[in-house]
Amino acid sequence: MVNTPLDGNQTSSDSSSVDIVPLVWLSAALAALAGLMFGLDIGVISGALGLIKEEFHVSTLTEGWIVSSMMGGAAVGALGAGWVSNSWGRKNALLAASVLFFVGALVVAMAPNVDIIIVGRILLGLAVGVASFTAPLYLSEIAPERIRGTMISFYQLMVTVGILAAFVSGLAFSYIHSWRGMFGILCVPSAVLFIGVLLVPNSPRWLASRDRFDEAKEMLGKLRASRAEVEKEMSEITAAVNSDDHTSGWKLLARNSNFRRSVALGIALQLVQQFTGMNAMMYFAPRIFEQTGFGSEAQLWSTVLVGLVNVLATVIAIGFVDRIGRKPILYLGFTVMAAGLAVVAAIMAVGASTSFLQFTALIALLVFVAGFAMSAGPLVWTLCSEIQPLAGRDFGISCSTFANWASNMALGAFFLLMLNNLGGPVTFGIMCVCNLLYIVFTWAFIPETKGVSLEHIERNLMSGKPLRQIGR
Ligand code: BGC
């Protein structure tokens, strides 16, 4: 265990009087723009798919490829992102992601055939993989710990805004039948992201991990309001960098059982997030609304409503994450999700025969979405970037982000099969039970990291404390 002059709890109470400099907000806004791109990419396909199908007469199998090629690219991108952001730095990784976004969007928008659409979707996926890895990591490294949760949740808010914007633009462009427009417009935020990232500072923690301590201190000076804060944080970072176990990646994994625990927790958190079933709503909402008895126009508008509730409920998480903590919000979120799913399963079992039952099913699905958006949506990304030790942070987050995209892809591939073969009541019943089990998982394994410095979490992890106690 590394001894530093500071204790994390002490740090958190001290910092309550500390100002946040504007550059922190600017950097946060730009990293969050990467979240917007993430959301646009997730949401764009739901509106575009029907039109692409109409133009190229594709088979159901090819349709599947068009959807999942992006997630496959993202899984690969997330794996490569660890290396890129470790050797090139967080800033350059975000720049690379914005270039990939731009090129990918352009390739799809101008594609002469389906093969090229798939190539463009893979490029977009690579971009999302790199961005979804780097942006929360960068935010966690530049944020003062008092507002760390808020800032990473803000990133998730942008993901949800992106999804909503894509749903709305899908609806708008569908009137002029232009799926190319839906993709082409993505070039604009990619260009803004590129230019914006050029302006933000490098992560002091990354600089220190490359033994560039002077630059790290200089950057920290720009990001903190007082000298005292800079000195305090720099001594923590230096202690973490100089700790005994400064091996990284696979070597650290092989050598250090405590690191294996944090990597396993990160992967488990992302699997839990995906197997809440949220993306079933993101990708197949119209289909689910069809099963609860909605006509085609109502299906599209209800989908936009899903996007809207997703945004609004994320705002709740932002307001509370650094006030009441991660665990209480997760308990509440999983309970709300399980309740919503139980109601949907029950209505599907008896058949949504009356408009009252249809309306109740819609509300229950929205309750489910709200439950996710206020809890597992933002908090899983927050926790994943908080629990890894500095030496293995890139590797650990790379593994968990890969798990997010791989399970995302699996859900995309199997959800409709489940729905068709097992039926609505069983499928939603299974999802409900899973969410109930996650309450136990939260109690048993998830630490409370509210207001605790990353270095303090690292010391607790490396000293062998049970995972649920590595926070406060
Ligand atoms: C998840 C995505 C999901 C989105 C929905 C994110 O936290 O990782 O898979 O589509 O939330 O808002």
- 152, part of any domain: yes
CA 346 to each of CA 279, 351, 368, 427, 447: distance values in angstroms, whole numbers, following the listed order: 21, 8, 14, 11, 34
> Does the pLDDT at position 4 exceed 50?
no
* Ligand 1 atom having least distance to the Cα of 279: 10
Q: Count how many domains the chain has.
A: 1
- What's the gap in Å between 222 CA and the centre of ligand 1? 32
Least confidently predicted of 70-74, 78-82, 238-242, 369-373: 238-242
> Can you tell me the mean pLDDT for 95-105?
96
> Does the pLDDT at position 175 exceed 60?
yes
> Can you tell me the mean pLDDT for 403-432?
89
User: For residue range 17-48, what is the model confidence (pLDDT) as tens digits?
Assistant: 457 788 888 888 887 888 999 899 888 887 78
**Which pLDDT score, from 0 to 100, does residue 331 have?**
97
| Among 44, 152, 156, residue to substitute to test ligand 1 (most atoms within 8 Å of Cβ) | 156
- 206, part of any domain: no
- 409, part of any domain: yes
> Does the pLDDT at position 266 exceed 60?
yes
44: helix, strand or coil = helix
- 400, part of any domain: yes
| Among 40, 139, 156, 159, residue to substitute to test ligand 1 (most atoms within 8 Å of Cβ) | 159
Helix (H) or strand (E) holding 392: none
> Does the pLDDT at position 123 exceed 50?
yes
Residue 250: pLDDT band with limits 50, 70, 90: confident
**In 321-392, alpha helices (H):** 326-350, 355-374, 376-386
| Torsion angle (degrees, nearest 10) of CA 335, 355, 428, 422 | 170
More confident residue, 51 or 5: 51
Residue 1: pLDDT band with limits 50, 70, 90: very low
Write down the residue that tokens 């997330």 correspond to. 78
Task: Give 465's DSSP letter.
Answer: -
| Among 42, 71, 407, 409, residue to substitute to test ligand 1 (most atoms within 8 Å of Cβ) | 42
Residue 353: pLDDT band with limits 50, 70, 90: confident
- What's the gap in Å between 45 CA and the centre of ligand 1? 15
> Does the pLDDT at position 283 exceed 50?
yes
> Can you tell me the mean pLDDT for 120-137?
92
Q: Which residues line ligand 1 (CB under 6 A)?
A: 42, 156, 159-160, 163, 273, 278-279, 282, 310, 377, 381, 404, 408
* Ligand 1 atom having least distance to the Cα of 314: 12
The percentage of the chain sitting over the pLDDT mark of 90, rounded to a whole number, equals 48
* Ligand 1 atom having least distance to the Cα of 404: 8
- What's the gap in Å between 159 CA and the centre of ligand 1? 7
Identify the residue whose C-alpha is closest to ligand 1 atom 11: 377
User: For residue range 359-417, what is the model confidence (pLDDT) as tens digits?
Assistant: 898 899 999 999 999 999 999 999 998 999 988 888 898 899 999 999 998 887 778 78
> Can you tell me the mean pLDDT for 119-136?
93
The enclosing domain of 332 has a CATH number of 1.20.1250.20
**Which pLDDT score, from 0 to 100, does residue 14 have?**
40
- What's the gap in Å between 17 CA and the centre of ligand 1? 33
> What tokens were used for 3?
């001894």
- 230, part of any domain: no
Q: Residue 78 is part of which domain span? A: 20-201+244-469
The percentage of the chain sitting over the pLDDT mark of 70, rounded to a whole number, equals 94
Residue 247: pLDDT band with limits 50, 70, 90: low
- What's the gap in Å between 241 CA and the centre of ligand 1? 32
- 113, part of any domain: yes
Residue 280: pLDDT band with limits 50, 70, 90: confident
More confident residue, 360 or 286: 360
**Which pLDDT score, from 0 to 100, does residue 16 have?**
42
* Whole-angstrom distance, CA of residue 410 vs CA of residue 418: 12
**Which pLDDT score, from 0 to 100, does residue 246 have?**
56
**Which pLDDT score, from 0 to 100, does residue 64 have?**
79
- With a CB cutoff of 8 Å and minimum separation 6, the contacts of 147 are 20, 322
> Does the pLDDT at position 335 exceed 50?
yes
> Does the pLDDT at position 324 exceed 50?
yes
Identify the residue whose C-alpha is closest to ligand 1 atom 1: 377
The two counts, helices (H) then strands (E), for the chain are 21, 0
Identify the residue whose C-alpha is closest to ligand 1 atom 10: 279
Reported as half-sphere exposure (CB side, CA atoms, 13 A), residue 230 has a value of 17
Residue 245: pLDDT band with limits 50, 70, 90: low
* Whole-angstrom distance, CA of residue 106 vs CA of residue 127: 13
**Terminal CA-CA length for the chain:** 16
Q: Which long-range contacts (CB under 8 A, 24 or more apart) does 297-306 make?
A: 300/171, 302/362, 303/46, 303/167, 304/164, 304/167, 304/168, 304/171, 305/362, 305/366, 306/167, 306/281, 306/282, 306/365, 306/366, 306/369
- 232, part of any domain: no
**Which pLDDT score, from 0 to 100, does residue 394 have?**
81
- Tell which residue, 147, 173, 184, has the closest CA to residue 27: 147
Identify whether the C-beta of residue 291 lies closer than 8 Å to the C-beta of residue 418: no
* Whole-angstrom distance, CA of residue 342 vs CA of residue 348: 10
- What's the gap in Å between 125 CA and the centre of ligand 1? 14
Query: How buried is residue 175: exposed, middle or buried, by Cβ count under 10 Å (0-12/13-18/19+)?
Result: exposed
- What's the gap in Å between 93 CA and the centre of ligand 1? 21
More confident residue, 339 or 1: 339
- 158, part of any domain: yes
Write phi, then psi, for 224 (nearest 5 degrees). -120, 150
> Does the pLDDT at position 5 exceed 50?
no
